[in-house]
Amino acid sequence: MARYGMVIDTRKCVGCYACRVSCQMQNELPVEESYIKFYEKETGVFPNVKNEIIPVQCQHCEDAPCVSVCPTKATYTTKEGIVLVDSDKCIGCKYCMVACHYGARTQDHNTGVVEKCRFCAELVAEGKQPACVSTCISNARIFGDLDDPNSEVSKAIIKMNAQPLRPDLGKAKIYYVR
């Protein structure tokens, strides 16, 4: 069984928002709502400063706090390790939003359901790439099976020493090159 994950190379990311727009289209989100948020971080001291653009979305945590707090089991983890929300079970209590370390969830105010990045589970099931990955203009995103050592994503993680955003906050399935 595959265990899906992603690498995001922030050195390649130019902050063009293409991934965000394609995600909004894929998930039919209104303009003001999105599953990908952009953060900017400046590190270092002048003149050696580094300015990073860091796209953040659901990290598909193993042992995800959103899954354990969700009272209705609307949020669950699939066999492939993708964290999904069953929109027919969600009551919109927002407990998962409070519990997520990455602020990765948003509430759809038409339905009241809380949603987030789903690794485009339906595209992946057809053998395609998630929308953000196939749209990224600079190939900053790589998606695939973390359990397969020969997958592009596994190789990239090793080659570029990609790390989760905050390994201390639990195991995430998105790895960043920074």
Residues in contact with another protein by the rule CB under 8 A: 39, 41, 54, 56, 65, 68-74, 87-95, 97-103, 107, 109, 111-114, 165-166, 169
> Residues 30-68, buried b or exposed e (16+ Cβ, 10 A)?
eeeebbbeeeeeeeeeeeeeeeeebbbbbbbbeebbbbe
Contact 117, 36 (CB under 8 A): yes
The residue count for the chain: 178
Contact 104, 56 (CB under 8 A): yes
Q: Per-residue x/- marks for ligand SF4, 17-56, CB under 6 A?
A: ----------------------------------------
Q: Per-residue x/- marks for ligand SF4, 118-157, CB under 6 A?
A: ----------------------------------------
Could you say which of ligand SF4, another protein, none residue 53 binds, taking C-beta under 5 to 8 angstroms by partner kind? none
Of 4, 3, 5, the C-alpha closest to 164 is 5
Binding residues for ligand SF4 (CB under 6 A): 58-61, 64-66, 69-70, 72, 74-75, 83, 85, 90-96, 100, 102, 104-105, 114, 116
